A and B are shown apart, each in its own frame.
Chain A
Amino acid sequence: MGFKENCFKKSLWVFHLSAGSCNNCDIEILDLLTPRYDVERFGMKLVGSVRHADVLLVTGIVTKKTLPRVLEVYEQAPKPIVVIAVGACPCTGGIFASGYNFAGPLDKVIPVDAYIPGCPPKPEAMLAGVVKLLNKK
Chain B
Amino acid sequence: MGKKTIVPIGPYHPLLEEPEFFKLYCDGETVVDMEWETGYNHRGIEKICESKTFEQVFYVVERICGICSTSHPFAYANAVESIADVDIPLRAKLIRSIVGELERIHSHLLWVGLAGHFLGYNTLFMWAWKYREPVLDMFEIITGNRNSYAMFTIGGVRRDITAEQATQLIKVLDDVKVKTDLLVGAVMDDPVIHARLKGVGVLTAKDIHDFGAVGPTARASGVKIDVRRDDPYAAYDMLDWKVITAQGGGVFAKAEVRLLEMYESISMIKQCLEFLKKEEPGDIKVKVKDIPPGTGIGHAEAPRGEVFHFVKSDGGNSPIRHKIRAPSYTCIPTFRKSCIGGTISDAAIATAAVDPCYCCTERMTQVYDHRTGKRMMNAVELIKLSQQKTDEIRKKLKVKL
A24 at the interface (CB under 8 A from B): yes
Within 8 A of B (CB), among A29-78: 29-31, 34-36, 46-50, 60-61, 63, 65-66, 69, 73
Check if B19 sits within 8 Å of A66, measured CB to CB: yes
- Measured in the bound complex, the distance between the Cα atoms of B378 and A2 in whole Å is 36
- Measured in the bound complex, the distance between the Cα atoms of B44 and A100 in whole Å is 6
Check if A99 sits within 8 Å of B40, measured CB to CB: no
Within 8 A of A (CB), among B46-71: 47-48, 51, 59-60, 63-67, 69
Question: What's the count of A-B pairs with C-beta under 8 Å?
Answer: 123
- Measured in the bound complex, the distance between the Cα atoms of B18 and A36 in whole Å is 23
Binds A, one of B25-33, B125-133, B187-195: B125-133
A23-B67 contact in complex given A18-B18, A48-B14, A99-B48, C-beta closer than 8 Å: yes
A124–chain B nearest beta-carbon distance, Å: 11
A50 to chain B: which residues have CB within 8 Å? 12
Check if B19 sits within 8 Å of A69, measured CB to CB: yes
Check if A24 sits within 8 Å of B43, measured CB to CB: no
B149–chain A nearest beta-carbon distance, Å: 11
B198 at the interface (CB under 8 A from A): no
Check if B63 sits within 8 Å of A119, measured CB to CB: yes
A64–chain B nearest beta-carbon distance, Å: 8
- Measured in the bound complex, the distance between the Cα atoms of B40 and A20 in whole Å is 6
A24-B48 contact in complex given A16-B17, A34-B130, C-beta closer than 8 Å: no
Contact pattern, A 80-112, Cβ under 8 Å of B = 1, otherwise 0: 000000000000001110111110000000000
Interface residue tally on B, bucketed by range: 35 or more
Check if A30 sits within 8 Å of B60, measured CB to CB: no
Check if A30 sits within 8 Å of B11, measured CB to CB: no
- Smallest Cβ-Cβ distance to A99: which chain B residue: B44
B255 at the interface (CB under 8 A from A): no
A65-B42 contact in complex given A30-B129, A99-B48, C-beta closer than 8 Å: yes
B44 to chain A: which residues have CB within 8 Å? 96, 99-102
- Smallest Cβ-Cβ distance to A20: which chain B residue: B41
B13 to chain A: which residues have CB within 8 Å? 48
Q: Of A35, A61, A99, which one neighbours B126 at CB under 8 angstroms?
A: A35
A127 at the interface (CB under 8 A from B): no
B380 at the interface (CB under 8 A from A): yes
Check if A30 sits within 8 Å of B17, measured CB to CB: yes
Q: Of B14, B129, B148, which one neighbours A120 at CB under 8 angstroms?
A: B148
- Smallest Cβ-Cβ distance to A25: which chain B residue: B66
- Measured in the bound complex, the distance between the Cα atoms of B12 and A77 in whole Å is 14
- Measured in the bound complex, the distance between the Cα atoms of B187 and A84 in whole Å is 37
A22 at the interface (CB under 8 A from B): yes
Contact pattern, B 175-211, Cβ under 8 Å of A = 1, otherwise 0: 0000000000000000000000000000000000000
A42–chain B nearest beta-carbon distance, Å: 17
B128–chain A nearest beta-carbon distance, Å: 9
B90–chain A nearest beta-carbon distance, Å: 31
- Measured in the bound complex, the distance between the Cα atoms of B147 and A18 in whole Å is 17
B393 at the interface (CB under 8 A from A): no
B340 at the interface (CB under 8 A from A): no
B129 to chain A: which residues have CB within 8 Å? 30-31, 34-35
- Smallest Cβ-Cβ distance to A46: which chain B residue: B14
Check if A63 sits within 8 Å of B41, measured CB to CB: yes
Check if A95 sits within 8 Å of B359, measured CB to CB: no
Q: Of B43, B113, B130, B357, which one neighbours A23 at CB under 8 angstroms?
A: B357
Within 8 A of A (CB), among B133-190: 133, 146-148
A94 to chain B: which residues have CB within 8 Å? 63
Return the 9 tightest CB-CB contacts between A and B, nearest first. A24-B66, A26-B17, A34-B129, A23-B66, A99-B44, A48-B380, A35-B130, A101-B44, A22-B66
Known: A21-B41, A63-B43. 18 other contacts (CB 8 A): A18-B18, A20-B41, A21-B18, A23-B17, A23-B67, A34-B129, A35-B130, A36-B130, A46-B14, A48-B378, A48-B379, A63-B42, A99-B47, A101-B42, A101-B43, A101-B44, A120-B66, A120-B148
- 17 pairs, CB–CB < 8 Å, chain A vs chain B: A16-B17, A20-B40, A22-B65, A22-B66, A23-B18, A23-B357, A24-B66, A34-B125, A48-B13, A48-B378, A48-B379, A49-B378, A60-B41, A65-B40, A66-B11, A69-B19, A98-B51
